[in-house]
Chain A
Amino acid sequence: MNCFGNIWSVAKRELSGTVSSPVAYVFIVIFLLLSAFFTFMIGGFFERGQASLASFFGWHPWLYLFLVPAVGMRMWAEERRSGTIELLLTLPVTAWQAIVGKFLAYLIIIAVALLLTFPVWITVNYLGAPDNGIIVAGYTGSLLLAASYLAVTSFTSALTRNQVVSFILAVVICLFLILAGWPPVLNLLHRVFSPGLIDFVAAFSVMTHFDSIQRGVLDLRDIIFFLSVILFFLFATHAVLLARRAG
C-alpha cells in the first residue's frame, strides 16, 4: 500500500515536471504528426484498399526509436546533473520505487500519445469493417514495444549525467533490438550463418515479436518477451544506480 503510494508520488512528481516543460507536448504532437504522415503518405493507407491499421503500426518501431529515448533521456541524467538524485534517494523511498515511479510516468505520457491516435481507428472503421480484435492487439503490442524502449532509456539515462549521451546510447541499443530481427538484416545473415543461429538472434529482436502481435495473435510468449526486456533493463537501471552509489 505504502509502496504503491511512494511509486505514485514519484510518478506524479515526474509527470508534473514533464507537463510543466514542453517535453511531453512536443513528444505527443510530433508523434501524432509523424504517425499520420507515415501512415497516410508513405505507408499507403488508402492504396492498400484494406480495412486494417497495418500501415499505421508498422512504422511504430522506427518512430519510437527516436521519440522514446528523446522523451525519457532526462529520467535519471537530469537528477544526477542537478543533484536532486541526492534528495530523491534520501527520502524514505526505495530505489525500486523511484525507478518504477519514473518509468510509469513516462509510460503514461506515451500511452496518452498512443490513445490520441484514435482518429485513425475511427477512420478505418468508417471506411470499412476492420477486425477490431487485431487493432486492440496492435495497440497492446505498440505499448509494450514503447515500454521496452523506455526501459532501455531508463538504463542508459542512469549511466550518465549527460542527456545527449543517454539519448544516443538508448537509440543504439534499441536499434540493435530492431535490426536483430529486421528481414533485410536477416537475409544478409542468411548467406553467412546457419538458420538455427539466425533464429536465435532473431528471437532477441523486438521486430519478430512485434510483428506476430500485429498479426492479431496475442501470444503469451511475445508478451513474456517484452515483459522480460522491460524487467531486464529496469534491473540493470537498479544495478547501475547501486553501483554508482558505491563510488
Chain B
Amino acid sequence: MIKVEDLRKNFGTKAAVDGVSFNVEKGEILGFLGPNGAGKSTTMRILTGFLPPTSGSAEVDGFDLEDQPVEAKRLIGYLPENAPCYDDMFVSGFLKFCGEARGLRGGKLNDAVGRAIATCFLEPVAHQSIDTLSKGYRHRTCLAQAILHDPPVLVLDEPTDGLDPNQKHEVRSLIRRMGKDKAIIFSTHILEEVEAVCTRAIIIDRGRIVANGTPDELKGRASGAGTIVLRAADRGGAALRPFLEKVEGCSAVEVLEEQPAVLRLRPKDASTASGLAARVHELAVREKWKLIELRIEEGRLDDVFRSITLPDTAPGRDAK
C-alpha cells in the first residue's frame, strides 16, 4: 500500500531525511522509532503530502504524492504531531468538516461521524468546543478525524503522546484492531508500544534507516540477547564458575554477583541457547544446587535502540 523510495528532504543544507526506503503492506503495522529530530515527522509529512520531498518518491496504492496528491490523500488518514485541531469549533462540527472535505455527505457523513465519535470514546464531549477539551480528548478528537473515512492507510505521528495509561492502552488496542485490514505507520518513543502493537519496526537516526525488522528480530540484535542467566541461592559465584565453563556449548561465563550467585553464560551460538540451558539445568540437578532462576535473556529493544542511535558508541551505525 505504502511505497517510499530513496526519500530525501533537505532544509537548507541540513538533510532531515537522507535516503529512506520502505514498504508497508495491508495488514502491517509499522512502528517508526528514532530519537527526536531523527526525521520521523518529516518522513510522515512527505508521506501525507504536506511537504514535498527534495528527491525520491512516496506512493500510496500507486498514487504518487507529488503527481496525484488528491487521489493519494483520499486514501490516507493522518494524525499530525501534537494533534492540531480547530479550537473554535465543536468536536462534532470539526469531524463533520473533515468528513465533508473528504467527500462524505448526508447520511453517510452522519454515520461516519457517529462511528468515529464512538470508536474514540468522544461521546461525553461531542458537543463541546475543542478549546475546552483536555489534552487526552483533544488528541482523540484528532485521531477520530484520521479514522473518520475508514481509510486503507493510516499515518499516526505519536498517537499516544500525552495520554494517560488507560488512554494509551485504548489507543494501542484500537491500532491493533484496525491493523488487521489497513496499512498503518505510527511513530513513537515508547519501545514497549512497539513490542505490543507493531508487526514490524524501523529505527531511524539522522535521516537514515539504521534497523528494519520485526520487534523480535530487533531484540535479537541486543548485546545481551540469547545469553543465559543463572541464579543460585546456596553457592558463591566463583565456586560455580569452573563447573559451568565445562558445559558443552558454553563460550564464556561471567560472574555478575557473588552472593547469592548470579552468572551469565554466553553460548557459542545464539541459536543453541535452549540446549545449553537444558544442560545447565541437568548439571544443577546433579550437583544439587538450589537454583532460583534460570532464563534465556530475550534482549531488550531499549538496548538495541540505544546502541544503534547513540552517537559514537554505534556498532550499528553503518548497518543497513
Contact = CB atoms under 8 A, between A and B. Distances in A.
Interface of A: 2, 5-6, 9-10, 12-13, 16-18, 20-21, 82-84, 86-87, 89-94, 245-247
Nearest to B65: A90
Contacts of A89: 49-50
Given A84-B84, A245-B52, A247-B9, A92 B73 contact: yes
A18 B87 CA distance: 11
B45 interface: yes
A131 to B, nearest CB: 43
B98 A91 contact: yes
B190 interface: no
Nearest to A23: B88
Contacts of A2: 103
Given A9-B97, A89-B49, A82 B87 contact: yes
A93 B11 contact: no
A138 B73 CA distance: 44
Given A9-B97, A13-B89, A87-B84, A92 B103 contact: yes
A91 B48 CA distance: 9
Contacts of A21: 88
A236 B48 CA distance: 24
Contacts of A90: 48-50, 73, 76, 78, 80
Given A2-B103, A6-B101, A83-B82, A92 B70 contact: yes
Main secondary structure of the interface of B (DSSP, over half): mixed
Contact of B89 (A5, A17, A86, A92): A17
A33 B129 CA distance: 31
A87 B87 CA distance: 13
Task: Choose among B9, B11, B87, B97 the residue with the greatest number of A CB atoms under 10 Å from its CB.
Answer: B97
A9 B100 contact: yes
A11 B10 CA distance: 34
A246 B52 contact: yes
Contacts of B145: 87
B86 interface: yes
Interface string B142-153: 100100000000
B51 A13 contact: no
Nearest to A101: B101
Contacts of A84: 84-86
Main secondary structure of the interface of A (DSSP, over half): helix
A83 B100 contact: no
Given A92-B73, A92-B102, A87 B9 contact: no
A10 B97 CA distance: 8
Interface string B180-217: 00000000000000000000000000000000000000
10 contacts: A12-B97, A13-B86, A82-B86, A86-B84, A90-B49, A92-B74, A245-B51, A245-B52, A246-B51, A247-B10
A11 to B, nearest CB: 11
Nearest to B129: A20
A19 to B, nearest CB: 9
Given A90-B50, A92-B102, A245-B52, A83 B80 contact: yes
A247 B49 CA distance: 13
Task: Choose among A10, A16, A245 the residue with the greatest number of B CB atoms under 10 Å from its CB.
Answer: A16
Given A20-B88, A86-B84, A247-B11, 13 more contacts: A9-B101, A13-B86, A18-B88, A20-B89, A84-B86, A87-B78, A89-B50, A90-B73, A92-B102, A94-B69, A94-B70, A245-B52, A246-B52
Contacts of B45: 86
B101 A10 contact: yes
Task: Choose among A12, A13, A90, A246 the residue with the greatest number of B CB atoms under 10 Å from its CB.
Answer: A90
A17 B49 contact: no
Contacts of A247: 9-11, 51
Given A86-B84, A247-B9, A91 B89 contact: no
